[in-house]
Chain A
Amino acid sequence: GENVEQHPSTLSVQEGDSAVIKCTYSDSASNYFPWYKQELGKGPQLIIDIRSNVGEKKDQRIAVTLNKTAKHFSLHITETQPEDSAVYFCAASRGAGTALIFGKGTTLSVSS
Chain B
Amino acid sequence: GAVVSQHPSRVICKSGTSVKIECRSLDFQATTMFWYRQFPKQSLMLMATSNEGSKATYEQGVEKDKFLINHASLTLSTLTVTSAHPEDSSFYICSATPGTSGGNEQFFGPGTRLTVL
Which A residues lie at the B interface, using CB under 8 A? 32, 34, 36, 41-46, 49, 51, 89, 93, 95-97, 99-105
Contact = CB atoms under 8 A, between A and B. Distances in A.
A102 B97 contact: no
Nearest to A6: B43
Q: Which 7 A-B pairs have the closest CB atoms?
A: A43-B108, A32-B104, A97-B99, A96-B100, A43-B110, A43-B111, A97-B32
Nearest to A49: B105
A44 B108 contact: yes
B43 A89 contact: yes
Contact of B99 (A93, A96, A104): A96
Nearest to B60: A1
A102 B104 contact: no
Nearest to B95: A100
Contact of B43 (A42, A49, A95, A104): A104
Contacts of A99: 34, 46, 49
B108 A36 contact: yes
B67 interface: no
B61 interface: no
Interface string B90-117: 0001010101101111111111010000
